[in-house]
Each structure stands twice: as C-alpha cells, then as structure tokens.
C-alpha cells in the first residue's frame, strides 16, 4: 500500500509497513538508521513481531479502554516500530504505551505550561504512543472519537506553540508523516518515488507559459517531491515574482543547500538568476560555504559588484530591454514599463529551465520598475508564443 492509502486491518498494515520499510532503507542515510539492526536491514522490516491477542488484551485492561481500531491493528502487525517518520525514531510497545499523565508526567507539565489551554487540557486524557524522537510526541485523544471508533491523533513538538494538525486517526497520522518523509527526501535529492517527475515538470512549464502561476507552482512542487531539482528551482523562480522579500531564504535553503538542484539546472543559470536575487536581499558572508563552487573567492569578496552572466533573450525582447534602459536613463519609467510589458508575449527561451524573464527582477535598473502588481502581470501574461519547450526538445505551439 502506497502513501495516501491508510491501512486499517492487520494485513493492510503489514503490506503498508513493508513498503514503507523498503522506502526508508533505500533512501535514508546510514546515520539516520542508528537503531536499525542488521536483521531488520536484511529482512527490510523496521518493526518487530506483532503483539498477540493476549498482549493487546492486557494493554486494554491496563488502560481501562479498548484501543482505536487502526492503532490496535498496527500493534498486532508490529509491536513497536523504528523510523516511522523523519523526526520520530521509535514507537512504544504494548508494554509501555500509556496515558501521558502516567507515562511522562514531566512532559504533561511542560504541555500544560506552554500550550494553549484547549491543547493543554488534551494532555490530561491523551494516550502517549511514541518513544524517542526529535523533541516531538505522538498523542491519541480518547475524547475525540469518530463513529467508527478512531481517536483523533496529534503531534506535539517543541517547535509548535501547541498541538500540530489534527488527524482523524493514528493511521492518518502515520500516512501524513510518510508523505512528509517522501517530500523531504525528494527535495534533498533522494527521491522515494521519482516516476512522473518529468511529466510534472513539463506540465508546470506549460502552465507557467500559459499564465497559470498557481497551477504551475503545484506541478513544480510535486515534481520537487519526486526528486526533481529543476522542479525545486522553478518553484523558487516563480516565488521570486510573487514574494520577492523572502525569496533569498528559499534560494539559500532550497537551491544553494542542495547540489542536485544546481547540477540539474546548470551553473550558468544559477549564477544568472538565483545569485543576483539572493545578493539583492542578503549579505553573503554568513553563507560563504553554500556558494563554494558557485562563486569564486574573489567574487564573494566583491559580492556587491558581482556581474551575472547574460542569458540569451529573444531578439524582440532584447530590443525592449535596451529601449527600457534608455527610457529609464531619460527619466521616463512609465514609458519604459510600457515597452517591456508589450514585449512579454514574445518572450521565450530554448532552455526547459527558464519559465519567465527573470532578468526583469535581477537587472539593477529594471527591477525598480517591477511593483508587486507588475510582477503578477508578468506571470499572468501568456508567453512563448513561438515555442514551447518540453524536456530538452522544442515543440511549435499552434
């Protein structure tokens, strides 16, 4: 069973967890699997033997209540688990699952002190099902029960002011964390499920050039989740027009920190687009290590004078750029924008990794013309009327 198919029965859990185990063991780094035994690696099963009916009965007697169905069947499939999410390393077994007030009273005190009152009150009745994790805890709520007997499930983590998102069941929480695991690894260049990434990338490019930035952003994000460095890059370039004040954070975290993104898109384009966008918003010194291999030491030392390499522009659009600069020098910014705006439908690029005239927001003179409204206008204007590039090939548009 793949992510998105929530398991309910013991047999469904066994299939689901077997596939999840295989995914984790295939893409996780060795230092992320410190508690996994050689036997578990060999069997490709990050769990243990399932709890017996007698063990489950003893647990329910100790708790004084029947367990919610999806959690009970999980324990019957595997009494405990390792690496169930990126930030949760062990799950409690039938021997140590317990009410939060009994299992970890200190944690309950912290929850009462720091969480909003409505979240803190859940701690008094919550069932703690997680073990070791990265300062996070998994809780089931017996006071929020669905018609089929499932208890609502939450993650409480040190970085949340209160409880995280409500999930309909333990199974729904596990599946959401599996999807997050796939997303985080895909964006780190370790895709769990790379199939379909190229199609999503092509769809995102086509939507962008049609002026549908929202649809394109969704396609690029899903391509990035499947390990596409180009999907990650193009999502950031879209956001450079929509949220320029924060794009340097995305460039730092999503592009510069991931070599597979730079490698897939190409160094020249990263230097031409991402680097000047970053330098316009941020100092380089705290992040020099990220720029290794992208800028020389000399360029980093003189980052305020960095000159990005020019990318080829269509002749008509290049003429508009030149005219716009002349009009700006003559003190005619509105006329300059009129010229540039009229040239937008004719903009196109032969590279599949260029989806918009980013030079309009990197050029030190022209970028001052691009207000938030004009930036959205650029993205909403259908472009590439001469060519549509899909993959590495160029196809005529009817």
Select from 162, 187, 212 the last residue of a domain: 187
pLDDT tens sequence across 28-68? 888 888 899 999 999 999 999 999 999 999 999 999 999 99
> Do residue 273 and residue 303 come from a single domain?
yes
> Do residue 32 and residue 96 come from a single domain?
yes
Number of domains in the chain: 2
31 φ/ψ sector (left φ>0, alpha ψ -120 to 50, else beta): alpha
Task: Return the closest-CA partner of residue 183 out of 35, 29, 27.
Answer: 27
> Do residue 387 and residue 346 come from a single domain?
yes
> Do residue 177 and residue 226 come from a single domain?
no
Taking the model in full, what pTM does it have? 0.83
> Do residue 18 and residue 124 come from a single domain?
yes
What CA–CA distance (Å, rounded) separates 153 from 144?
9
**Does some domain include residue 260?**
yes
Q: What is the pLDDT of residue 398?
A: 33
Q: Three-state DSSP class for 352?
A: coil
- Rounded (10°) angle between helices 315-329 and 333-343: 170
Q: What percent of the chain has pLDDT over 90?
A: 87
Looking at the predicted structure, is the pLDDT value of residue 324 above 80? yes
**Does some domain include residue 233?**
yes
**Does some domain include residue 359?**
yes
**Does some domain include residue 355?**
yes
> Do residue 34 and residue 155 come from a single domain?
yes
> Do residue 50 and residue 179 come from a single domain?
yes
- How confident is residue 332, by pLDDT bands cut at 50, 70 and 90? very high
**Does some domain include residue 64?**
yes
> Do residue 176 and residue 202 come from a single domain?
no
pLDDT tens sequence across 4-25? 789 999 999 999 999 999 999 9
pLDDT tens sequence across 334-380? 999 999 999 999 999 989 999 999 999 999 999 999 999 999 999 99
Looking at the predicted structure, is the pLDDT value of residue 274 above 50? yes
> What is the C-alpha end-to-end distance of the chain, expressed in Å?
42
Is residue 315 within 8 Å of 351, Cβ to Cβ?
Answer: no
Q: What is the pLDDT of residue 384?
A: 65
Select from 187, 222, 245 the last residue of a domain: 187
Per residue, the 3-state secondary structure of 31-95, as one string, reads: HHCCCCCHHHHHHCCCECCCCCHHHHHHHHHHHCCCCCHHHHHHHHHCCCEEEEECCEEEECCCC
Q: What is the pLDDT of residue 29?
A: 85
Looking at the predicted structure, is the pLDDT value of residue 111 above 50? yes
Burial class (CB in 10 A: 0-12, 13-18, 19+), 61: exposed
**What's phi and psi for 386, nearest 5 deg?**
-90, -40
> Do residue 270 and residue 362 come from a single domain?
yes
> Do residue 205 and residue 113 come from a single domain?
no
Mean of all residue pLDDT scores within the chain: 93
Q: 306: domain range?
A: 197-396
Q: Three-state DSSP class for 154?
A: strand
């Amino acid at each position: 069973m793949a992510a998105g198919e929530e398991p309910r029965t013991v047999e469904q859990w066994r299939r689901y967890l077997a596939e999840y185990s295989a995914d984790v063991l295939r893409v996780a780094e060795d230092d992320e699997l410190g508690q996994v035994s050689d036997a578990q690696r060999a069997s490709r099963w990050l769990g243990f033997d399932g709890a017996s009916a007698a063990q489950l009965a003893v647990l329910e007697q100790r708790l004084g209540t029947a367990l919610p169905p999806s959690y009970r069947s999980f324990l019957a499939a595997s009494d405990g688990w390792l690496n169930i999410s990126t930030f949760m390393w062990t799950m409690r077994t039938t021997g140590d699952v317990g009410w939060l007030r009994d299992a970890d009273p200190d944690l309950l005190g912290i929850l009462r002190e720091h969480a909003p009152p409505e979240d803190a009150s859940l701690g008094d009745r919550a069932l703690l099902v997680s073990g070791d994790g990265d300062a996070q805890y998994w809780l089931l709520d017996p006071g929020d029960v669905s018609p089929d007997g499932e208890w609502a499930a939450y993650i409480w983590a040190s970085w949340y002011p209160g409880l995280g998102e409500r999930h309909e069941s333990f199974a729904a929480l596990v599946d959401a964390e599996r999807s997050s695991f796939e997303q985080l690894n895909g964006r780190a260049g370790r895709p769990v499920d790379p199939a379909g990434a190229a199609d999503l990338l092509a769809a995102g490019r086509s939507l962008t050039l049609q002026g549908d930035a929202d649809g394109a952003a969704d396609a690029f994000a899903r391509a990035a989740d499947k390990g596409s460095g180009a999907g990650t890059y193009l999502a950031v370039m879209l956001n450079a027009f929509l949220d320029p004040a924060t794009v340097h954070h995305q460039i730092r975290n999503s592009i510069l920190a991931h070599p597979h993104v730079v490698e897939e898109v190409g160094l020249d384009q990263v230097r031409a687009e991402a680097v000047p966008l970053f330098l316009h918003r941020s100092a380089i010194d705290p992040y020099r290590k990220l720029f290794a291999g992208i800028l020389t030491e000399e360029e980093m030392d003189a980052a305020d004078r960095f000159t990005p390499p020019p990318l080829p522009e269509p002749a008509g659009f290049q003429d508009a750029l030149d005219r716009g600069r002349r009009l700006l020098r003559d003190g005619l910014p509105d006329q300059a924008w009129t010229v540039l705006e009229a040239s937008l439908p004719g903009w196109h690029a032969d590279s599949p990794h260029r989806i918009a005239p980013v030079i309009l927001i990197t050029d030190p003179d022209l970028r001052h013309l691009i207000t938030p409204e004009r930036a959205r206008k650029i993205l909403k204007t259908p472009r590439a009327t001469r060519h549509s590039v899909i993959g590495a090939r160029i196809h005529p548009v009817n």
